[in-house]
Structure 1
Amino acid sequence: MRLFFFLAILIFTTSVQASKVALIIDDIGYRQTDEAVLSLPNKITLSVLPHTPLGETLAKNGHQQGHEIMLHIPMQALNGKKLGPGGLTNQMSEYEFKQQIDAAFNSIPYAVGVNNHMGSLLTQLDEPMQWLMENLKHRQGYFIDSVTTRYTRAGAKADHIGIPTLRRQVFLDNDTSKAGLERQFNHLISLAHHQGQVVAIAHPYPETIEFLQNNLSRLKENGIHLVNASELLPYRIAQQPTNSATTRLK
């Protein structure tokens, strides 16, 4: 009986300790206040918008501090909202689409993966998602679906092409009030214990940054490890890069 009790405690403790959270801060690059993301622990992944005034500098500085860098590519939305520079649409040819992705990567150094900014229309379309995943496979990248529509086809296309992929499970700061942030943070902790790993997305709002500065320690207190987004990937691409400019996951 004592042995059974000891094993039960050991299994429970190991399960709690194995819980992991990848927290991605995206929408980075336009505002001077975005620099505050560099005050956060370097296990937080930074996803930077292409061709933005501060994007290149923040990507470089973030990388130097040990943050994993992603590219936050604008994608066509159902509501017709303006995409900004580097946006992908369903009016583009395959050549234009892939050139746009290449230019976006060139504008954000050290990016090793992509998540979508908006994209409630584009992520539903098979052909554009095929083109995106083909480009990512060429550069040894990964994709995290922000899940801006329940009808997204991005994950299915990533699986078909052989791209490591994850889905966002929690938006931390749709409500930036203290009560709203607290509610979502508690949900994040609960989900991490229940599922073992969680992908969460937040934004560089001053309210969010302050909340994270004051509360991230609660993850460790609850036996949850904060990890880079790539650490949760189900597998890594084995294919060798075709040229020295291709980014590889490490």
Structure 2
Amino acid sequence: MRILFSFIIFVSCSALANANSKIAIVIDDIGYRSTDKSVLNLPKQVTFSVLPHTPFGRELAEKGNLQQRDILLHVPMESINNLLLGPGAITSEMDEEAVKKTLAASVADIPHVIGVNNHMGSRLTQLERPMRWTMQFLKENDLFFLDSRTSRYSQAGYVAKDTGVPALNRRIFLDNTINEEYIEKQFLKLIQISKREDVVIAIAHPHPETVNVLKRMLPMLKSNNIELVSISELLPAQNASLIATESSSASNEAIAAIAPK
């Protein structure tokens, strides 16, 4: 709260810099903890990105959809530091069939998915071949890709464009440090970035500290002429319409892809 009160006058006075700014906030890493359910108390414009094959993933995707939220699949991808990835992971050792089968099983596990973003992935997103296989799968299932940008050398955007997959990029992380004072600073930074860039995507996580700060600070957006939007609203109009229409069929197609033949 100290940071909030010390900066609120400055932020509000600069609000007229851009009257049409849009912010999308994506909550990653949903699914492992029962406390993740607290994110259901955030505004419906806040997007959920759900880890596959987790204890609470399917339930929270279903409940989020009932709140008319956008639901993303949070796909674990190989990191430079070889961190533990969890189920549904894609690695550089996998061939095309394994990559697509893994993605299909994950989409089948998490309902109402309209897009995918990477969990970790600092190594995999730098590799053109597995990213091309990933984008081919997304193209076939009418899904878009949000690059979490865990590597400055990510090839995901280039490959998505080449494959014809709608793609977006994360601009800022809000809670790399799990401390309310730090998260408040990042939220104020998010507001300032939005005045320069019109459209900004932030990623956060379902920590109690993060949820507390968001509930407290999200009302600031309106007073600063910033609109909180669902991630799908940042897609080109024709792609957003297609994804909205076809998302319900994506899970069925993915299930069919892994069904015994």
TM-score w.r.t. the length of structure 2 is 0.86
Aligned to 1:3: none
Instruction: Point out where structure 2 has 5 or more consecutive residues left out of the alignment.
Output: 1-14, 252-261
After superposition, what is the alpha-carbon deviation per residue over 1:110-149, rounded to whole angstroms, capped at 9, x for unaligned? 0100000000110000011101111111111110000001
- Structure 2 vs 1, CA of residues 180 and 90 (structure 1 numbering), >3 Å: closer, same or farther? same
Q: 1:29 offset after TM fit, Å? A: 0.1
How many residues were matched structurally?
235
Q: What is the one-letter code of the residue matched to 1:189?
A: I
Q: C-alpha separation between the residues in 2 aligned to 1:109 and 1:124?
A: 28
The aligned counterpart of 1:112 is 114
* Structure 1 residue runs of 4 or more that deviate by more than 3 Å after TM superposition: 234-244
Once the two structures are TM-superposed, the CA of residue 82 in structure 1 deviates from its matched residue by: 1.3
What are the equivalent positions in structure 2 for 1:54-133 lying under 5 Å apart? 54-133=56-135
The 1-side partners of 2:175 and 2:228 are apart by: 18
State percent identity of aligned pairs: 46
CA separation in 1, counterparts of 2:116 and 2:168? Answer: 11
1:4-24 deviation line (CA, Å, top 9, x unaligned): xxxxxxxx96x7331000000
Aligned to 2:202: 200
CA 1:243–1:176: 2 relative to 1, 3 Å = closer
Tell me if structure 1 keeps the 8 A contact 2:40–2:64.
Answer: yes
Q: Aligned letter for 1:164?
A: P
Aligned with residue 177 of structure 1, among 155, 159, 179: 179
Distance of 1:41 and 1:157 partners within structure 2: 33
- Spell out the pairing of 1:224-243 with structure 2 (5 A cutoff): 224-234=226-236, 236-237=238-239
| Aligned position for 1:246 | 250
Asked if the contact 2:21/2:199 (under 8 Å) is kept, the reply is yes
Residue 213 of structure 2 corresponds to 211
**How far, CA to CA, are the matches of 1:34 and 1:243 in structure 2?**
24
Once the 2 structures are TM-superposed, how far is the Cα of residue 243 of structure 1 from its aligned partner? 11
Q: Residue 23 of structure 2 aligns with which residue?
A: 21
Structure 1: gaps of 5 or more residues: 1-11
Letter in 2 for 1:245: S
**SS at 2:249 equivalent:** coil
Name the SS for the 1:17 alignment partner: coil
Question: Structure 2 counterpart of 1:103, which letter?
Answer: A
Give the RMSD, CA atoms, in angstroms: 2.0
Deviation at 1:215, TM superposition (A): 0.8
Distance 1:104 1:49 in 2: 8
* CA distance 1:214–1:163, shift in 2 (3 Å): same
TM-score by length of 1: 0.89
Which SS does the other structure have where 1:127 is aligned?
helix
Could you tell me how far apart the structure 2 residues matched to 1:236 and 1:80 are? 38
Give the structure 1 partner of residue 42 of structure 2: 40
- Displacement of 1:177 after TM fit? 1.9
> Which residue matches 2:4?
none
Shift of 1:236: 3.9
| Partner Cα distance (2:215, 2:248) in 1 | 38
Matched letter for residue 224 of structure 2: N
Cα distance, 1:167 vs structure 2: 0.7
Question: C-alpha deviations, 1:79-131, integer Å up to 9, x for none?
Answer: 11111000001111101110000000000000100000000110000011101
Matched residue, 1:145: 147
